[in-house]
Amino acid sequence: MKIEVVTLFPGFFTSPLGTSMVARAQSQGLAQIAVHDLRAFSADQHHTVDDSPYGGGGGMVIKPEPVARAWEALELGKGRCIYLSADGVPFDQRLAIELSLAPHLVLLCGHYKGVDERIRQRHIDQEVSVGDYVLTGGEPAALILIDAVVRLIPGVLGNFSSALEDSFQEDLLDCPWYTRPAVFAGQAVPEVLLSGDHQQVRAWRRREALRRTFERRPDLLARATLDEEEQRLVAQWRRAQPGPTEKS
């Protein structure tokens, strides 16, 4: 897979792309990742890439001219071009799997107040959002997308089929909780974790993760795959919740 990133801050990617799984994928030839400095395609000595939005208003937007030059010089239009944007489609595991099947991805990192609308219309195939919050730019979002997609490339992880079966909800329900026998904040590790019975340990971890998800993110349980016993537990916890306080 080939991934190209167009950004105003190429240094942002130096350490993350040279670390851990993403670095291993590149060293094994499973992923080719290139980062391009958009300022290199500006037309003036100050490397200007932004301008006031047409019609006025606060903030600046990325101009279409540098982007057009980059797309032409680097032939980026041959790839699937994605703009990381707060108003894009939500990025989830299903989309990560879909993008991992593409041979060539191009990621445009926005900045300032966004990009000129002509950039979206002429050069972008898809707009993607990594969450309902505001970032300083598209660079952190691009790293999230790269990490989620690269791990799905066959050969990057030891078990490819396991990677494909991963889901956000299941990850929440399979967290390790404890890593070694210890006393944490005055509380001893539960005896089951010291029993050596791996089946019981897995069951305990799953049950405790289920409880934590119910307490913190109950909305996720509607999409999680639960067996009959787990459904019974969730129903029991719901019945135990205090009802709304009646006003006198």
Beta partners for 50?
62
- CB burial string 111-120: b at 16+ within 10 A, e below: beebbbeebb
Span 52-68, average pLDDT: 74
Phi, psi dihedral angles at 244 (to 5 degrees):
-65, 140
Q: Specify the pLDDT at position 53.
A: 65
* Residue 222, both tokens: 């509607």
Most confident of 56-60, 219-223, 243-247: 219-223
In angstroms, rounded to a whole number, what is the distance separating the alpha carbons of residues 202 and 194? Answer: 12
215 pLDDT higher than 50: yes
Higher-confidence residue of 43 and 99: namely 99
DSSP 8-state assignment for residue 156: T
Q: Specify the pLDDT at position 108.
A: 96
Span 206-217, average pLDDT: 82
Higher-confidence residue of 144 and 187: namely 144
In angstroms, rounded to a whole number, what is the distance separating the alpha carbons of residues 3 and 22? Answer: 12
Most confident of 28-42, 85-99, 225-239: 28-42
Cβ atoms of 66 and 37 closer than 8 Å: no
Domain chopping of the chain, boundaries: 2-157, 170-240
Q: Specify the pLDDT at position 11.
A: 95
Element (H, E) at 33: strand 32-37
Question: 3.40.50.300, 3.40.1280.10, 3.40.50.970, 3.40.50.720: which CATH number matches 2-157?
Answer: 3.40.1280.10
Element (H, E) at 6: strand 2-7
CATH class of the region 170-240: mainly alpha
- Tell me the three state secondary structure of residue 124: coil
189-209 confidence digits (pLDDT tens): 677 767 778 888 778 878 887
**27 pLDDT band (50/70/90 cuts)?**
very high
DSSP 8-state assignment for residue 115: B
